[in-house]
Structure 1
Amino acid sequence: MLGFLLAFGTAISEALKDITSKHNLHHIDEYTAAFSMHLVQSLLLIPVVFYFGFESISTRYLWALLGCSLLQLMVILLYFKAIKRSEISVTLPLITLTPLFMLITSPIMVGEFPNALGLIGILLIVVGTYISNLSEDPKKVFAPFVSLLKNQGARYMFGVAFIWSITANLDKIGVEETSPVFWAFTKDFTILMYLVPILLWKSKKPWLQIRNRKGPLFMVGFFRTTSVLAHMFALQLILVSYVVTIKRSSAVFIILYAFFFLNEKKNFRNRIIGISIILTGLFIIAIS
């Protein structure tokens, strides 16, 4: 039950991070946003790492760190390209494929596969999240999949979903080899170092952007930190496929926020149906 609660906490933190990021991206570029988020997270985790202590480093850990950090950097770039080149309504539902991909990658990489109830819960959350992001036009039910044939942004997001199914398992390996805190810090600090030359190359006056938005940017980094810590600790307690599937249910909180605070009433029927299916899936995973 604790693992489930931690994974649920990850979903809440992810939603808060995404909501605050959405507001920030009206004022800064995506490279500055990514860099500042990892900077704040690294700074917040330094005292936590010192408190819990440093871990011994194994060869398996180093390979996991190299692979996960490079893939996560690739995800950041692909994700922003997808959003820039395509409608969000077409690309975002494809992210829900990550837990399905993990039914293949997790058994291979970490030897995990959910039981029958857990499998039903995963499928329900995937279907519910997909439905909640769809248009009410029945002709557009398969629009995200059809777009894979002709939409470059959709293909980028499909790649993001697949890469996440790999990095989630590498997170599991990193946590097993060290600890949740140490792995979270070293992985994101490594990504931060990758982002420095990219920021200097792609962004215009990044330090001015950060100074002008330092308060909101700190909140994004804070929510990212709580999300990562809850995620890593949850990996020690329940299957990685459960953690990631519950994490993707952050869409529920984003939808509710948009409805109550942004007055986004469009596709409300689909969203209510999707949320109901997601909550059913969460309950089944909790009792499995």
Structure 2
Amino acid sequence: MIIVAALWALTTSLDKIGAKNSSPLVFSAALYFCTALMMLPIVLVFSPNWVLQLRTNFSKLVLLGSLKAVDMWCHVTAVGLTVAANSVAVRQTSLLMGVGFGYLIFKEKNIKTRFFGSAIMVLGICLLTFS
């Protein structure tokens, strides 16, 4: 988790630089375009029937991609307008929704433990935000 946190801090700092030197919309689009280009060779090698999968799931992929684009645009806009660490901390409140959906949709067990851990993280977010 420490490695993930360090990588998250690094990429958030890069997001802030990108948002300041460009517009959040252009930076977000360029970032995901470059990511898609870098992933294309991997898809071509490891997924021989990717065209069929794309045709079959096209509407779902468009919806998912659109929602992720709005998410990234909001994230880069927020990072550009405030302290990057605070923006990331507030963004992590989606963790509660993830735990809730895990319980409702996937019927995950030990939900009390998961919500307790999530509540501790949200408490830390509140302490960061209001201090």
What TM-score, normalized to structure 1? 0.42
Describe the shift of the 1:167–1:235 C-alpha distance in structure 2 as closer, same or farther (beyond 3 A): same
Verify the 8 A CA contact 2:96 2:115 in the aligned structure 1: no
- How far apart are residue 163 of structure 1 and its match? 2.6
In structure 1, distance between residues paired with 2:64 and 2:103: 21
Equivalent of residue 61 in structure 2, options 209, 217, 239: 217
In structure 1, distance between residues paired with 2:5 and 2:80: 23
Equivalent residues in 2 for 1:42-121, closer than 5 Å: 94=1, 97=2
RMSD: 1.9
Identity of aligned residues (%): 26
Higher helix share: 2
After the TM superposition, list the runs of 4 or more consecutive aligned residues in structure 1 that deviate by more than 4 angstroms: none
In structure 2, distance between residues paired with 1:161 and 1:283: 18
The residue number in structure 2 matching 1:271 is: 114
The residue number in structure 1 matching 2:71 is: 227
- Opposite residue 196 of structure 1, the aligned amino acid is L
2:98 matches 1:259: no
Verify the 8 A CA contact 2:99 2:115 in the aligned structure 1: no
In structure 1, distance between residues paired with 2:45 and 2:104: 39
- How far apart are residue 279 of structure 1 and its match? 3.0
- How far apart are residue 161 of structure 1 and its match? 4.1
- How far apart are residue 282 of structure 1 and its match? 3.1
Q: Higher relative CO (CA 8 A, sep ≥ 6), structure 1 or 2?
A: 1
Gap regions ≥5 residues in structure 2: none
- Opposite residue 240 of structure 1, the aligned amino acid is A
- How far apart are residue 218 of structure 1 and its match? 1.8
Show CA shifts across 1:8-67 (max 9, x none): xxxxxxxxxxxxxxxxxxxxxxxxxxxxxxxxxxxxxxxxxxxxxxxxxxxxxxxxxxxx
Show CA shifts across 1:185-234 (max 9, x none): 11211122222222212212111111111122222212211110110110
The residue number in structure 1 matching 2:126 is: 283
- How far apart are residue 178 of structure 1 and its match? 1.0
